[in-house]
Structure 1
Amino acid sequence: MMTIKVGIIGCGSIAVHRHIPEYQENDTAEIVAFCDINKQRSDELAQTYGGTSYSDYNELLADDTVEAVSICTPNYLHAEMTIAALNAGKHVLCEKPMATSLDDADKMIVAAEKSGAKLMISHNQRLNEAHQAAKQDVAAGKLGKIYSFKTTFGHPGPEGWSVDGPDSWFFDKKRAFIGAMGDLGVHKADLMRYILGEEFKEVGAMIETSAKAKATVDDNAVLILKSTGGIIGTLSASWAYNGEEDNSTVLYGEKGVLKLNADPDYSYIFIGADGEVDKQQLGEMQTNDEDGQVNSHTIDAFIQSIIEDTVPICDGEEGRASLNIILKAIEAAETNTITRF
């Protein structure tokens, strides 16, 4: 059986709670290297799981045993590190948002094309079972014509999750570039593109920094979106949903309403215009709670694309299109206009 040797670049919470456990559960992956600017973090992980510890990512990329890497660093480093890894011939799973500009996203895509290595962006909501079912049902016409949607992703904020707590890079514009929009909103922008099978052509936005005193980035945002096929809907991203996380999506169609991860017992609920009700539990959504660290199958999809030499479920082009929605939303908010793509 082929085993892909993996390096982890960035040893913060997303690596510790998501990437590393999922690699550990995958029989065809083996973590052989860890890297963090705070070498104590990479040393501790290397001691726990085995492998080599680095403080310079270029040294990890020079390690010939490493075949693939997870980029789990602050947003502003994603492009630089991804391009270097691809140029070194490593397959890359990059955390979202893939970059802080379309220009950098394009450079990442070109680097992947030139190297022949895989580039996957970690938009894990595509792999949720209820979302997979929704995509199939929309394509099959179960909802008929889709008229509208509302999708939201909000929780109390990254300070309870990040390894650096309230001093986290998530709140710093220089390192994060964007706040709740980049942390949460880009996931939902990607999800709606994926489920609807359409691109968006117009966006309006209201974006605020109101909940986090130390933040120099947005912590609350509401977008209005219109697709190429005329579907309109709202997207909310927030670090101010105190008390309960909301990671739900609702589609309104000609033949009924489809609720995804909007109910504590059933992740998929279809309410037909004819009175039909279909309730299913199709897996759980990941949350930042201790009991919410379920396998998202992101690592499985990444490793499978390498072994089978297939296009990743969210490649560079897909990641770029989802990033573009967020960038256009920022433009819309700054100019107080509807921005067209």
Structure 2
Amino acid sequence: MKKLKIGIIGCGSIAEHRHMPEYHANSGTVIESVCDINDERASVFADLYQAKMYTNYKELLAGSDIDAVSVCTPNYLHAPISIAALNAGKHVLCEKPMATSMEEALGMIKAARNNGVKLMIAHNQRFVQSHKKAKELIEKGEAGKIYSFRSAFGHGGPEGWSADGKESWFFKKNQAFIGAMGDLGVHKTDLLRYLLGEEFAEVGAFVETSAKEGADVDDTAVCVLKTASGVIGTLAASWSYVSKEDNSTIIYGEKAILRLEDDPVHSLIVQYANGETVKYELGGIQTNKEGGQKTSGVIDHFVESILNDKEPSIPGSEGMKSLQVILAALKSSETKQIVRVN
């Protein structure tokens, strides 16, 4: 079987810990080329994976025999690089948030459609076992009518794992565009849309910079979200959780409460209205630390969608809907008003 040839654009932490090792482990792919403006960093991974090395993504797209690329760059480059790759006829897996505006996101979607190639956004929370099981139970009616939810994603900040530490692009508005809300909040927005099976209609938010000195992006945000059918809840995204990471979601329904990633042993706990409790041990959420889920599922799904010529489950349109909620949260914080999501 012919292997898909992959180009990695951006050799930072997410590429090092997720994209490269997962492509390397996938029997259907080979890492053909790597690219980073930091030539030392690019050189390390070119040697490790015996790949061609580039410091300019345009040269990689023009001179490298590849089928698909992973875009793992700072946020402000996601759209221009993805569009260039799509226009070059390459399938694209782009990190989140997919873009910095709706116009950019629509440009990416249009480029994929015009060139007949796949565009997938790397929202990995949909592939977590507890989340998949919870969606299955909700769809089967186990929770009954959903009333509300509470979701959080917080840790000590990107300096703990970013390739550039405290000097990371994550803290610079001109490169990141958005802080904890783009890094973490967009993940939970996507997860909630996936679990609830409907879109958010209204957003209210407080978005602050309180924990990271010198950062000109948000590091702590709390949003109130309302779906089209009237399900309401909160989403917190923060880089100010100085001890244990919180990656939990709780769904409150008519027949049951579902607690996801809220317990160190049981990744899903269902507490039924009749007093019964069912605990699931489904393995931890993916993490770079020991004991976590080893693969994100994102890369395998992307590869499968190309090999089987199927639309990926998180195409550009899905990434855009999750981005839209984050953009509405920013607007709400700025205007001090509830914002409707178009």
**If the length of structure 2 is used for normalisation, what is the TM-score?**
0.98
Change (3 A) 1:293 1:139: closer
Q: In structure 1, what is the Cα distance between the partners aligned to 2:279 and 2:51?
A: 45
CA offset at residue 292 of structure 1?
4.1
CA offset at residue 59 of structure 1?
1.1
**2:150 match:** 150
Q: Is the 8 A contact 2:211 2:239 kept in 1?
A: yes
Q: In structure 1, what is the Cα distance between the partners aligned to 2:278 and 2:185?
A: 28
CA offset at residue 102 of structure 1?
0.2
Q: Quick check: 21-30 or 195-204, which moved more?
A: 21-30
Q: In structure 1, what is the Cα distance between the partners aligned to 2:295 and 2:288?
A: 13
**2:213 match:** 213
Q: Is the 8 A contact 1:17 1:293 kept in 2?
A: no
Match of 1:241, SS state, is coil
CA offset at residue 2 of structure 1?
3.5
**1:24 match:** 24
CA offset at residue 336 of structure 1?
0.4
> 4+ residue stretches of structure 1 with deviation over 3 A?
288-293
Q: In structure 2, what is the Cα distance between the partners aligned to 1:339 and 1:288?
A: 36
Match of 1:218, SS state, is coil
**1:100 match:** 100
Q: In structure 2, what is the Cα distance between the partners aligned to 1:64 and 1:155?
A: 38
CA offset at residue 44 of structure 1?
1.1
Q: 1:13-68 deviations in whole A, cap 9, x for unaligned?
A: 11001111111111111101000001111111111111100001011111352100
**1:203 match:** 203
> Does the alignment pair 1:178 with 2:178?
yes
> Does the alignment pair 1:187 with 2:187?
yes
Q: In structure 1, what is the Cα distance between the partners aligned to 2:193 and 2:96?
A: 15
Q: Is the 8 A contact 1:18 1:293 kept in 2?
A: no
Q: In structure 1, what is the Cα distance between the partners aligned to 2:192 and 2:63?
A: 38
Match of 1:47, SS state, is helix
Q: Is the 8 A contact 1:96 1:122 kept in 2?
A: yes
Q: In structure 2, what is the Cα distance between the partners aligned to 1:59 and 1:203?
A: 42
Q: Is the 8 A contact 1:76 1:175 kept in 2?
A: yes
> Does the alignment pair 1:240 with 2:240?
yes
Within-5 A mapping of 1:83-98: 83-98=83-98
Q: 1:206-258 deviations in whole A, cap 9, x for unaligned?
A: 11100000210000000000001110000000001111000010000000100
Match of 1:299, SS state, is helix
- Partner AA of 1:148 in structure 2: S
Match of 2:190, SS state, is helix
Q: In structure 1, what is the Cα distance between the partners aligned to 2:177 and 2:199?
A: 24
Q: Is the 8 A contact 2:284 2:293 kept in 1?
A: no
Q: In structure 2, what is the Cα distance between the partners aligned to 1:207 and 1:39?
A: 36
**1:46 match:** 46
**1:72 match:** 72
Q: In structure 1, what is the Cα distance between the partners aligned to 2:297 and 2:22?
A: 7
CA offset at residue 197 of structure 1?
0.3
Q: Is the 8 A contact 2:33 2:64 kept in 1?
A: no
Unaligned runs of 5+ in 1: none
Q: In structure 2, what is the Cα distance between the partners aligned to 1:88 and 1:98?
A: 19
Q: In structure 1, what is the Cα distance between the partners aligned to 2:65 and 2:271?
A: 52
Q: 1:275-309 deviations in whole A, cap 9, x for unaligned?
A: 12111111221235365472111100000000011
Within-5 A mapping of 1:301-312: 301-312=301-312
- Partner AA of 1:207 in structure 2: V
CA offset at residue 134 of structure 1?
1.1
Q: In structure 1, what is the Cα distance between the partners aligned to 2:26 and 2:49?
A: 14
Match of 1:24, SS state, is helix
> Does the alignment pair 1:223 with 2:223?
yes
**1:135 match:** 135
Q: 1:125-177 deviations in whole A, cap 9, x for unaligned?
A: 00111111111111111100000000000000000111111000000000000
- Partner AA of 2:152 in structure 1: T
